[in-house]
């Protein structure tokens, strides 16, 4: 691919030089600019109709389909509120909050809320050109943002966003090229994602086998009499956790408020601090010594196993080394051995197994915010080999999973590189840094 024969300065920091025959224009000249709105949620006659209504969270730098719609309004709502109908093949731009400057391509007629602006293209611009271009102009759009991270841009701001003006046949060439190239990249990303999912399935299958069947394929088996588990080695035991471990959780917050968190002092672990069985202690909150001492039952010790019992259920953290005195928030359960029947590493792997997941899904409570009780965890009947076997299983799984995770990490990095390449390619082509007029996009 080559550059255009000659360039000129666009005079716009976000665009730089543009091909000599291109000119600067503004979004307000690309077509009709439409603002959205929200019908009154207190009026039942306005909702559950047959007219799609989109929120800004649906605008995610890709095409928006009818399947993406969560809410519908009535004709009465459309006629008696500030929401407007936007035609299919329009470009949508999110203008507030965390989604500000996200762009979407609308594939059906729809109304939009007040956090979205729609652009219905004029005869001088192809809709896909506007979509691709605005996808590359997040920095330019955000340069108009006011009100901080949760602020946004206005309709007037969007009208002022600069866009190149170029012949329709050339726009069509650019769109054709980008359609083909981005499709190829997206297919590669999808295949890589599928490979990652297969590797994750392999990891779960490996854990399931090791914590329920062991490492010896010739061992004599017996019926566990638990449907989700099936047969287990004859010499293994099934024990409810309450007989071999104690479990403690924070009983409420006792008035603890976020403004009490301090820069130094005992650590406070929350479920959000735990990712992939690890914790970044530098990101943890700190509490006063008074708050730490008021809950001695959840003072964390090394070899304790932590379990998230609310919200994102099932994240685990094995405490191998403490940087200092540590306590828990109310969404975590502390599990501490009271016997010599298990090692914490083996129990942690057991909590990643399918039989355990099935148990949790059956026992969890709630509607939108799920949780499992301490009693539910105490009554979980786990499968436990002799300690020497547990240690061998843990060593084997550590090695095998490390290999799988290494491949997953490599594939994830590949996806990130493909996404960066896709983003860069769109930007280079749509702003005229690459001349694709004679390219055959295959």
For 143-157, the pLDDT digits (tens) are 999 886 678 999 999
Q: Where are the domains of the chain?
A: 23-165, 168-236+386-442, 239-384
Residue 253 has pLDDT above 60, yes or no: no
Torsion of CA 272, 261, 374, 296, to 10 degrees: 140
Q: What is the pLDDT of residue 12?
A: 83
| Cα gap 231→86, rounded to integer Å | 59
| Cα gap 194→21, rounded to integer Å | 44
For residue 11, what are its two tokens?
Answer: 């005079």
For 76-127, the pLDDT digits (tens) are 999 999 999 999 999 999 999 989 999 999 999 999 999 999 999 999 999 9
Which CATH superfamily groups domain 168-236+386-442? Bipartite methylase S protein (1.10.287.1120)
| Cα gap 424→344, rounded to integer Å | 46
Q: What is the pLDDT of residue 35?
A: 94
| Cα gap 364→401, rounded to integer Å | 28
Average pLDDT over residues 362-376: 90
Which residues have C-beta within 8 Å of that of residue 42, sequence separation ≥ 6? none
Q: 39, 46 in Cβ contact below 8 A?
A: yes
Provide Rg for the chain, Cα atoms.
Answer: 28
Average pLDDT over residues 407-424: 97
Residue 258 has pLDDT above 80, yes or no: no
Kindly indicate whether the domain formed by 239-384 is annotated with CATH number 3.30.420.40. Answer: no
| Cα gap 306→272, rounded to integer Å | 12
The per-residue DSSP string of 167-213 comes to -HHHHHHHHHHHHHHHHHHHHHHHHHHHHHHHHHHHHHHHHHHHHHH
Note the CATH architecture for domain 23-165: Alpha-Beta Complex (3.90)
| Cα gap 22→4, rounded to integer Å | 11
pTM score, two decimals?
A: 0.83
* pLDDT averaged over every residue in the chain: 93
Q: What is the pLDDT of residue 358?
A: 94
Terminal C-alpha separation, the chain: 13
**Common-topology check for domains 23-165 and 168-236+386-442:** no
By three-state DSSP, how is residue 249 classified?
strand
């Amino acid at each position: 691919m080559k550059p255009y024969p000659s360039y000129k300065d666009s005079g716009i920091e976000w665009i730089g030089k543009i091909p000599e025959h291109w000119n600067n224009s503004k979004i307000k000249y690309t077509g009709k600019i439409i603002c959205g709105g929200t019908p009154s949620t207190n009026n039942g006659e306005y909702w559950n109709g047959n007219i799609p209504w989109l929120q800004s969270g649906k605008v995610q730098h890709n095409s928006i389909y009818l399947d993406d719609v969560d809410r519908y309004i009535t004709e009465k709502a459309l006629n008696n509120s500030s929401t407007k109908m936007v035609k299919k093949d329009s470009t949508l731009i999110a203008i507030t909050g965390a989604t500000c400057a996200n762009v979407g391509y609308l594939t059906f007629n729809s109304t939009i809320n007040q956090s979205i602006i729609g652009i219905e293209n004029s005869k001088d611009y192809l809709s896909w050109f506007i979509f691709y271009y605005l996808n590359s102009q997040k920095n330019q759009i955000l340069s108009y943002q006011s009100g901080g991270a949760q602020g946004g841009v206005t309709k007037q701001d969007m009208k002022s966003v600069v866009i190149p003006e170029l012949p329709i046949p050339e726009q069509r060439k650019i769109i054709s090229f980008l359609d083909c190239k981005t499709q190829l990249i997206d297919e590669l990303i999808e295949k890589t994602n599928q490979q990652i999912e297969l590797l994750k399935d392999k990891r779960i299958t490996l854990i399931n086998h090791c914590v329920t069947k062991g490492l010896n394929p010739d061992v004599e088996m017996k019926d566990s009499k638990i449907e989700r588990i099936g047969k287990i080695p004859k010499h293994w035991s099934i024990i409810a956790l309450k007989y071999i471990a104690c479990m403690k959780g924070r009983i409420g917050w006792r008035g603890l408020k976020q403004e009490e968190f301090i820069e130094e002092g005992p650590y406070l672990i929350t479920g959000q601090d735990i990712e992939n069985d690890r914790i970044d202690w530098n990101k943890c909150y700190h509490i006063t010594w008074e708050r730490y001492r008021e809950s001695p039952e959840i003072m964390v010790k090394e070899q304790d196993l932590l379990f998230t019992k609310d919200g994102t259920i099932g994240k685990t953290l094995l405490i191998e080394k403490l940087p200092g005195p540590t306590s828990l928030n109310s969404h975590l359960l502390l599990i501490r051995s009271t016997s010599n029947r298990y090692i914490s590493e083996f129990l942690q792997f057991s909590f990643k197994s399918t039989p355990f997941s099935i148990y949790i899904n059956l026992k969890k409570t709630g509607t939108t915010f799920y949780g499992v009780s301490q009693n539910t965890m105490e009554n979980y009947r786990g499968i436990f080999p002799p300690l020497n076997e547990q240690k061998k299983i843990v060593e084997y799984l550590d090695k095998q999973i490390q290999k799988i995770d290494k491949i997953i990490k490599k594939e994830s990095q590949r996806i990130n590189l493909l996404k960066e390449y896709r983003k860069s390619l769109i930007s280079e082509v749509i702003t005229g840094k690459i001349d694709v007029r004679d390219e055959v996009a295959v």
